[in-house]
A and B are shown apart, each in its own frame.
Chain A
Amino acid sequence: MIKIGLEDLDDIALGATFLGTGGGGDPYIASLMTRRAIAENGPVTMLSLDEIDDDVLVFACGNMGAPTVAIEKIMGADQPPAAVLALEAHLGHQADLLMAFEAGGSNSMMPIYNAAMLGKPMVDADGMGRAFPEMQMVTFSVYGASSSPFALASEHGDTTILDISDDKRAEYLGRGIVIRMGARSAKASFPMDGKTAKRVAIPGTTSLCQSIGANLRQSRAENRDPFAALIDMLSGTHYGHAKILFNGKVTDLIRETRDGWAIGKVVITDQQDASLEVEFQNEFLVARQDGKLRTIVPDLICILDSEMAQPITTERLRYGQRVTVMAVSAPSIMRTEAALAIFGPVGFGLTEPFVPVENLP
């Protein structure tokens, strides 16, 4: 059991931006919300999956909407708790613990915020281990937990409960309501017991965000090579393998909107004129060099600025930026056949089969 206090939030936000793999939304605003919630209500208690009982009730919480709206229409203070309370009322049971469904990006903060606002503890785990664009792309779904019933809440306190048997349809139907709520909704979902959570959730991802953030911060403060230090730190976690894929400057950047996605490609070129091509759909999906695969989803591709090792989101990529591209192996729970069928290459329409990054050049 650990406590999350004000002093931990910047590290968690920085680590969550890294795990966001280019997407997931900037956690800056969510961390300001959470700072205020903890300042007013005190630190949040966080338990590891091992520490929770089998019969506790756990909700996965976060937001649903468009990141570009998120920087303009900030949430109402009572909006995220409203979703949790609505789901509790519907089930007739209070949640014992809150959990993230997405540890990467701004959603990393929402269980902490809700825990502080509602005086509940949280679990150190999530369902994505990074960021993904759709709500069915979670290990919870892969291993048989259902997102339904789930609650959505607007800033007006309006709530709705959806009970949908398939998580992909839940994403589709839920999205329609989210748009009418102004493309910014709070969500409480995947009600499950502790026993299920231990089976379907990726352990330790909130504390991993904190470790990544602290590691980057310390490297900067001590003027050490931040990349080497981070690779070293990650090798001791269940993510395991991390490496530098490429070092260079952004020499080409193509973006387009297709079916509502921010789809594009960034080309990074080094001093020897070699190039790495990274494709993205909200998050970075695949990196290729001379047509040869270097890393592919669900393994993580992170682009950081070479100077400060600040992770860069796709919307902040700019021509001429000097960047370092890192690849990190996803934990084994994200690499099973069942998991790859949902958020492996085929889940994004890519034709290459998944090859673990540690087996690639």
Chain B
Amino acid sequence: MSRAAAPLRPKLRLGIDVGGTNTDAVLMDGDKVLAWHKVATGLHITDAIVAAAGAVMEQGNAVPNQVFAVMLGTTQFTNAVIERRRLNKVAVLRLAAPATTAVPPMSDWPEDLREVVDGGHYLLRGGLEFNGREISALDEAEILAAAREIRELGFDAVAITSVFSPLDANMEHRAEAIARQELPNAAITLSHRIGRIGLLERENAAILNAALSSLAARVLDAFTQAIDDLGLTAPLYISQNDGTLMTAAHAVRYPVLTFASGPTNSMRGAAVLSGLNDALVADIGGTTTDIGLLLDGFPREAAMTVEVGGVRTNFRMPDLLTLGLGGGSLVRDGGKHIGPDSVGFELEQRALVFGGDSLTMSDIAVSAGQMDLGDPANVARLDSVQATLARAAEMIEAALERVRPSATTLPVILVGGGAPVLSGNSISGGKIVRPGHGQVANAIGASIAMVGGECDRIFSLDGVSRKEAVAAAKDEAKTQAVEAGAEAASIRIVEMDEIPLSYLPGNATRLRVKVVGDLQGTGLEIGA
């Protein structure tokens, strides 16, 4: 053999971001970027992944068995909901009657989405009280009759929600087993698997998940096909909204968990590229700038409920401020007005540097010598270049001020393809950090994602000390993370929240603990 023996242990990771416009791939060794490549996503996801990932394997001189794991982030499922396309009709079983009948399922959905997804609902007996007592007993005959009707109507996606199932999921499991007798092949989503306390938000998430079931099968198939075509044998992981990973097998069943993984990945990528754990991040794209806050290497989560395609959910999502300013933003009135409209995907047709007729922020940045794009001669004699740059900096600074947590200053990490539109070394009192490979922060974020676990339950402090309850919650979250593939020794708590429940006896309190750990075998530190 002419080449050296393969390393004893594969240690490279392949990070892929499948966006609506571009598919990016990076090849990583620890937190070092060995190679990156960007292609248009186009209509065939498999082809795009093979092209982007194939290119980085070649550039990095890597062979498939050196790759330890493939991590993939995607907006395919979010886009399907936003565009109301490729969704299944879902029949909803809610176990709670006679409680909850005042607000039936999908009451708060936008009409157009409801028309696409609504496959009828059944308010059935069941559900639990806050203390675990049954609201009413499960009625097997009632569930069987509903399942039979669903089968006769020809629907193959079902969402099952039971009141207080995050406390005890037994009723949802039993209802699934009964419904399976009539619907052996249906895609059935149990709400406790994907949501926390908050019936409507959890039910909404379960319905959206069921609505994505056919698309999930196709898309995950395309992903695994691409991995096969590349000759890779490493396991495939998919990124979730909270910056942690799930297996491809899990993602087929829970596609809804990929929502908002894009912004999370780019913020996590910014943390690793810059080596900073506490910082502001500005991800400047073509049309918008997303500004978020990294606390301890993870994005700060939004406290309010988050809407996806107009539907309220209680997903963990980063708290972002989105500003209508990017590389494609239109510049008017000598730079006094920038955006929020943008040439978007048509930058290469419409921007002046490409011979177009629209003055964009990218033209300004090229004219100032800050960006390398198109033909600089086209923008050699622009007016008000400095005034426009100053205005852009002012807009970004105002947004940073709103996100900055306290009077202390924080560094600002710039990532995204539009990053060069912001000049200078400091902003909002903080140092500007421009890490290398910032334009593929997204794929890098996917590649360094960790494995998480969460506990969100109501504990009674009757006869149990607060300390014991907190310890139990931590154990539950850790066990979940280990089951998801985390290395036990690397697990640490990233968030803990306690909400005391007023009016309930026994000092009940709601504890939410979130932990993360390294994927077994990577030994990668957050932000290291």
Q: Write the B499-518 contact mask toward A (1 if CB under 8 angstroms, else 0).
A: 11111110111100000000
Instruction: Please judge, given known A-B contacts A182-B130, A257-B461, A269-B406, whether A320 and B293 are in contact too, CB under 8 Å.
Output: yes
Q: How far is B492's CA from A129's CA once the two chains are assembled, in angstroms?
A: 46
Instruction: Please judge, given known A-B contacts A133-B502, A183-B504, A255-B500, whether A74 and B98 are in contact too, CB under 8 Å.
Output: no
Of residues 152 to 174 in B, which have CB atoms within 8 Å of A's CB atoms? 163-164
Closest 7 CB pairs of A and B: A257-B500, A320-B405, A155-B99, A74-B100, A182-B129, A318-B303, A33-B102
Of residues 76 to 101 in A, which have CB atoms within 8 Å of B's CB atoms? 76-80
Of the candidates B136, B199, B498, the one having the most CB atoms from chain A within 10 angstroms of its own CB is B199
Which residue of chain B has its CB nearest to the CB of A37?
Answer: B102
A257: contacting residue among B127, B133, B135, B509, CB under 8 A: B509
Q: How far is B322's CA from A16's CA once the two chains are assembled, in angstroms?
A: 28
A182: contacting residue among B104, B135, B293, CB under 8 A: B135
Check B96 for interface membership: any CB of A closer than 8 A: yes
Contacts of A273 in B (CB 8 A): 407
Instruction: Please judge, given known A-B contacts A183-B130, A183-B504, A320-B293, whether A76 and B100 are in contact too, CB under 8 Å.
Output: yes
Contacts of A66 in B (CB 8 A): 130, 501-504
B507: contacting residue among A76, A155, A260, A317, CB under 8 A: A260
Check B221 for interface membership: any CB of A closer than 8 A: no
Q: Are A77 and B102 in touch, CB under 8 angstroms?
A: yes
Q: Are A73 and B127 in touch, CB under 8 angstroms?
A: yes
Q: Are B200 and A29 in touch, CB under 8 angstroms?
A: yes
Check A71 for interface membership: any CB of B closer than 8 A: yes
Q: Are B164 and A282 in touch, CB under 8 angstroms?
A: no
A75: contacting residue among B100, B104, B458, B503, CB under 8 A: B100
What are 16 inter-chain pairs, A to B, with CB distance below 8 A? Answer: A29-B103, A35-B107, A67-B502, A69-B501, A71-B199, A73-B130, A74-B96, A76-B97, A76-B101, A76-B102, A183-B130, A249-B405, A255-B499, A257-B508, A257-B509, A320-B293
A72: contacting residue among B163, B293, B509, CB under 8 A: B163
For residue B503, give the distance in angstroms from its CB to the closest CB of chain A: 4
Q: Write the B196-215 contact mask toward A (1 if CB under 8 angstroms, else 0).
A: 01111000000000000000
Q: Write the B402-419 contact mask toward A (1 if CB under 8 angstroms, else 0).
A: 100111000000000000
Check A160 for interface membership: any CB of B closer than 8 A: no
Q: How far is B256's CA from A189's CA once the two chains are assembled, in angstroms?
A: 45
Q: Are B100 and A73 in touch, CB under 8 angstroms?
A: yes
Q: Is the interface of B mostly helix, strand, loop or mixed?
A: loop
Check A351 for interface membership: any CB of B closer than 8 A: no
Of residues 81 to 104 in B, which have CB atoms within 8 Å of A's CB atoms? 96-104
Check B304 for interface membership: any CB of A closer than 8 A: yes
Contacts of A78 in B (CB 8 A): 98, 101
A260: contacting residue among B98, B197, B303, B503, CB under 8 A: B503
Contacts of B99 in A (CB 8 A): 73-76, 155, 182, 184
Instruction: Please judge, given known A-B contacts A260-B502, A320-B300, whether A77 and B101 are in contact too, CB under 8 Å.
Output: yes
Q: Are B501 and A155 in touch, CB under 8 angstroms?
A: no
Check A319 for interface membership: any CB of B closer than 8 A: yes
Contacts of B503 in A (CB 8 A): 65-66, 175, 178-179, 183, 260
Q: How far is B464's CA from A350's CA once the two chains are assembled, in angstroms?
A: 30
Check B108 for interface membership: any CB of A closer than 8 A: yes
A79: contacting residue among B102, B104, B108, CB under 8 A: B102
Contacts of B508 in A (CB 8 A): 257
Contacts of B405 in A (CB 8 A): 249, 319-320
Q: How far is B304's CA from A310's CA once the two chains are assembled, in angstroms?
A: 11
Check A321 for interface membership: any CB of B closer than 8 A: yes
Q: Are A72 and B199 in touch, CB under 8 angstroms?
A: yes
Q: Are A75 and B102 in touch, CB under 8 angstroms?
A: yes
Q: Are A76 and B103 in touch, CB under 8 angstroms?
A: no
Q: How far is B461's CA from A207's CA once the two chains are assembled, in angstroms?
A: 41
Q: Are B505 and A260 in touch, CB under 8 angstroms?
A: yes
Of the candidates A178, A182, A249, the one having the most CB atoms from chain B within 10 angstroms of its own CB is A182
Contacts of B103 in A (CB 8 A): 29, 32-33, 36, 74
Contacts of B300 in A (CB 8 A): 320
Q: Are B129 and A183 in touch, CB under 8 angstroms?
A: yes
Contacts of A71 in B (CB 8 A): 197-200
Check A337 for interface membership: any CB of B closer than 8 A: no
Which residue of chain B has its CB nearest to the CB of A305?
Answer: B304
Q: Are A36 and B102 in touch, CB under 8 angstroms?
A: yes
Check A307 for interface membership: any CB of B closer than 8 A: yes
Check A143 for interface membership: any CB of B closer than 8 A: no
Q: How far is B504's CA from A263's CA once the two chains are assembled, in angstroms?
A: 14
Which residue of chain B has its CB nearest to the CB of A74?
Answer: B100
Q: How far is B502's CA from A103's CA once the two chains are assembled, in angstroms?
A: 20
Q: Write the A302-344 contact mask toward B (1 if CB under 8 angstroms, else 0).
A: 0000110010000111111110000000000000000000000
Q: Write the A43-56 contact mask toward B (1 if CB under 8 angstroms, else 0).
A: 00000000000000
Which residue of chain B has its CB nearest to the CB of A33?
Answer: B102
Which residue of chain B has its CB nearest to the CB of A306?
Answer: B402
Q: Are A155 and B107 in touch, CB under 8 angstroms?
A: no
Contacts of A3 in B (CB 8 A): none
For residue A294, give the distance in angstroms from its CB to the closest CB of chain B: 21
Q: Are B461 and A72 in touch, CB under 8 angstroms?
A: no
Contacts of B499 in A (CB 8 A): 68, 255, 262, 315
Contacts of A179 in B (CB 8 A): 503-505
Which residue of chain A has its CB nearest to the CB of B461?
Answer: A257
For residue A210, give the distance in angstroms from its CB to the closest CB of chain B: 20
For residue B126, give the distance in angstroms from its CB to the closest CB of chain A: 12
Q: How far is B461's CA from A177's CA once the two chains are assembled, in angstroms?
A: 21
Q: How far is B100's CA from A341's CA once the two chains are assembled, in angstroms?
A: 38
Q: How far is B135's CA from A79's CA once the two chains are assembled, in angstroms?
A: 14
Q: How far is B107's CA from A73's CA once the two chains are assembled, in angstroms?
A: 16
Q: Are B102 and A256 in touch, CB under 8 angstroms?
A: no
Contacts of B136 in A (CB 8 A): 156
Q: Write the B103-131 contact mask toward A (1 if CB under 8 angstroms, else 0).
A: 11001100000000000000000010110
Q: Are B402 and A73 in touch, CB under 8 angstroms?
A: no
Q: How far is B108's CA from A36's CA once the two chains are assembled, in angstroms?
A: 10
Q: Are A72 and B197 in touch, CB under 8 angstroms?
A: yes
Contacts of B130 in A (CB 8 A): 66, 68-69, 72-73, 182-183
Check A359 for interface membership: any CB of B closer than 8 A: no
Contacts of A76 in B (CB 8 A): 97-102
For residue B13, give the distance in angstroms from its CB to the closest CB of chain A: 32
Which residue of chain A has its CB nearest to the CB of B405?
Answer: A320
Contacts of A74 in B (CB 8 A): 96, 99-100, 102-103, 199-200
Check A289 for interface membership: any CB of B closer than 8 A: no
Q: How far is B197's CA from A71's CA once the two chains are assembled, in angstroms?
A: 8
Contacts of B197 in A (CB 8 A): 68, 71-72
Check A42 for interface membership: any CB of B closer than 8 A: no
Q: Are A68 and B107 in touch, CB under 8 angstroms?
A: no
For residue B414, give the distance in angstroms from its CB to the closest CB of chain A: 21
Contacts of B200 in A (CB 8 A): 29, 32, 71, 74
Q: Are B102 and A73 in touch, CB under 8 angstroms?
A: no
Q: How far is B505's CA from A183's CA once the two chains are assembled, in angstroms?
A: 10
Q: Write the B474-513 contact mask toward A (1 if CB under 8 angstroms, else 0).
A: 0000000000000000000000001111111101111000
Q: Are B402 and A261 in touch, CB under 8 angstroms?
A: no
Q: How far is B410's CA from A127's CA once the two chains are assembled, in angstroms?
A: 48
